[in-house]
Each structure stands twice: as C-alpha cells, then as structure tokens.
Amino acid sequence: MPITLCCCKRGDCLASFKRDIKNAPPCSSTHPLAASVTRPTNTTKMVTNSNLHYHIIKGIIDNGFSPTVDDLADTFQADKEQVIKGLYDLQDYHGVVLHPNEPKVWVIHPFSLAPTNFYVQTKNGQWWGNCAWCSLGVAALLNEDVKITTTIGAETKQVEINIVNGQIHEKNYFIHFPIPMKNAWDNVIYTCSNMLVFENEEQIDSWTKRHNIPKGDIQPIEKIWNFSKKWYGNHLNPEWTKWTVEDAKRIFIEFELEGKVWNLGDSKERF
C-alpha cells in the first residue's frame, strides 16, 4: 500500500514512510498533501466470466452494440488492463469471440457484432444473429415479438420469420446443421455461418452440391425454436456459466437431437 507523510497542523500525527497508512491518524481533507494519500476502495467489482458476460449481453440488448473496454472498466470501476484480461479469459472459456488483433467483441452468442445473414428486429431495437439457431436464441433472450429477416441458404430469396407471443408463425422452414457439434469451436465463425434456413430437403441437397459443403442434419424450425429457448435461456443471468459437454448431451437428448452432427462423443473440450 502506498505510504505518504501526514503533517496535519495540529502536530500530533506525523507519520513515517514506514508506517502503514491505515494506522496513521486521519489528515484534514483540505491539507495539500491529503490528496496524495491512496486509500483502498470497496467500489471495484471483481471481473469474472459470469458478470463480464452478463454486462456485455445486457449492453448489446439495451444499445444494439457491445460495450467497449472503457465502458466495462467504468461499470466495474476497474483498470482497463483488468477488463482486457477478463475478456481474454472469457474467450478462452468459449464465452466470447474477440477480434484477432484487439480486445473488441466480435461475437458473443447468440449475438454478432458484425453484419450477418440474420437480422433480428423488435419494436425496441435491431441486432444481428450469427446463424439460424443464434437468431432464434436472440428472440428467446429478448422475450418479445420478433421479426427475423434472412435469405434461403444465404442466397437471393429473402424470407421473414415472425415470433409473436412466444409462437413461431412460419413453421414450414428447416434449419441445416452441416458441421458436427464436437467440431463447432474449431472455427466457430464458419460453423455459425453455415447454419441456414431452407424450405425443404431438396433445396439443401442442391445447395450442398453447389457449394461443396457436406450435408448434415436437418431440423424443423419450430423444434430449434423450442431448443433455443432452453439453450440460451440462462444467457442473461449474472451468474451464467457455459453448458458443460455433459449438460449439452442431456439437452440434445431432451430435444431429440441425434445422429453424427449432435454426437459429442467423449470430448472433454468446452462446448
């Protein structure tokens, strides 16, 4: 703890440099040397994966974009270096994806901070979802009427998906999952960019051949909507933690998500 001389006019509290400042009698706040005394503060909040994740998600929901390092430092009453370390720790935990060369949020599921093929709107704001699954996750977090605008197979035909009073109206769409979930974080941006909306399996067959992307699992959009509400339901909790692999397996089974794409095997990696 920094030590400084106390030299109050009343002359009864001279302190040496070796004396712990907490044992020194208080100085007058008007004394010119009083401002140099460094005192501990109880206002600094510990930066954890959980509360950092919470404040980023809440900032995106409230404002439509992510808080900056400076914003988060103000929120936590912490040094920027502490926040930056927290962001990289959260990235190691698979709770956020930062820009490659700076501690700036690129993706924090289900939100993307860069343009994507999934635009999510309510009467209160607009956001980008990373993929079909994530855009439904955004809707689940917002808990209000939502319109998702996207295109079939990220090509030319634009469609809208409306969720009103918690019910998805356009139930005739399907979501294609070409990347096995155990490999999702090998390149999570690529994984998300391939989870797209289609009208039928024939479209998916044609699309996979046209783009040389393996055919994966196909699920009805309403089923993934219900799954998304469970998967992302805790993401606005200040005590959020990631699902473990075992948690993910249980949730996949609960929603009958089976087959090679959903098989996590004996993976010990964070999902």
For residues 35-45, b (16+ Cβ closer than 10 Å) or e, as one string?
eebeeeeeeee
Is 7 inside a domain boundary? yes
Residue 141: what residue type?
Answer: L
Domain presence at residue 121: no
Examine the pLDDT at 2 and tell me if it is beyond 60.
no
**Per-residue pLDDT, 43:** 62
Whether 176 and 202 map to the same domain: the answer is yes
Q: Is residue 70 domain-shared with residue 94, that is, in the same domain?
A: yes
| Residue 32 vs residue 200, higher pLDDT | 200
Nearest to 194 by CA among 255, 130, 149, 139: 130
67 and 33 share one domain: no
Same-domain status, 162 and 257: yes
Give whole-number Cα distances, 62 to 125, 127, 156, 245, in Å: 8, 10, 31, 31
pLDDT of residue 194: 98
Does any domain span residue 128?
no
Instruction: Report if residue 127 sits inside a domain.
Output: no
Same domain, 102 and 204: no
When pLDDT is cut at 50, 70 and 90, the band that residue 254 belongs to is very high
Give the model confidence (pLDDT) of 67-122 as tens digits.
999 999 999 999 999 999 999 999 999 999 999 999 999 999 999 999 999 999 99
Show the tokens assigned to 48.
Answer: 């954890």
180 in the same domain as 87 = no
Cis peptide before 214 (omega within 30 of 0): no
Domain limits for position 234: 146-262
Does residue 19 carry a pLDDT above 90?
no
| CB-based contact 130:116 (threshold 8 Å) | yes
Q: Are 96 and 56 in contact (CB under 8 A)?
A: yes
pLDDT at 143: 87
CA dihedral 210, 114, 132, 119 (to 10 degrees): -110
62 and 29 both lie in a single domain = no
Distance CA 255, CA 262 (A): 11
Which CATH number goes with the domain that contains 100? 1.10.10.10
Whether residue 161 sits in one domain with residue 210:
yes
Tens digit of pLDDT for each residue in 211-243? 999 999 999 999 999 999 999 999 999 999 999
Domain of residue 234, CATH code? 3.15.10
CA dihedral 49, 51, 52, 57 (to 10 degrees): 120
Query: Are residues 92 and 11 both part of a single domain?
Result: no
Q: Amino acid letter at 72?
A: L
Q: Which of 91, 108, 125 corresponds to the end of one domain? A: 108
Tell whether 236 is covered by a domain: yes
pLDDT tens digits for range 29-57: 333 433 333 333 456 689 999 999 999 99
Q: Are residues 83 and 17 in the same domain?
A: no
Residue 255, SS3? coil
Residue 129 in any domain: the answer is: no
Band of pLDDT at residue 269, cut at 50, 70 and 90: low
Cα 160 to chain center, whole Å?
25
Residue with tokens 């370390």: 85
Return the closest-CA partner of residue 250 out of 232, 225, 231, 222.
231
Domain boundary among 60, 83, 108: 108
Please report whether residue 116 resides in a domain. no
Count of domains for the chain = 3
Label residues 68-85 b or e (16+ Cβ within 10 Å = b).
ebeebbebbebeeebbbe
Answer yes or no: do 152 and 206 share one domain: yes
Note whether residue 240 is domain-resident: yes
DSSP state of 185: G
Looking at residues 176-205, what average pLDDT do you find?
97
Looking at the fold, whether 53 and 29 belong to one and the same domain comes out as no
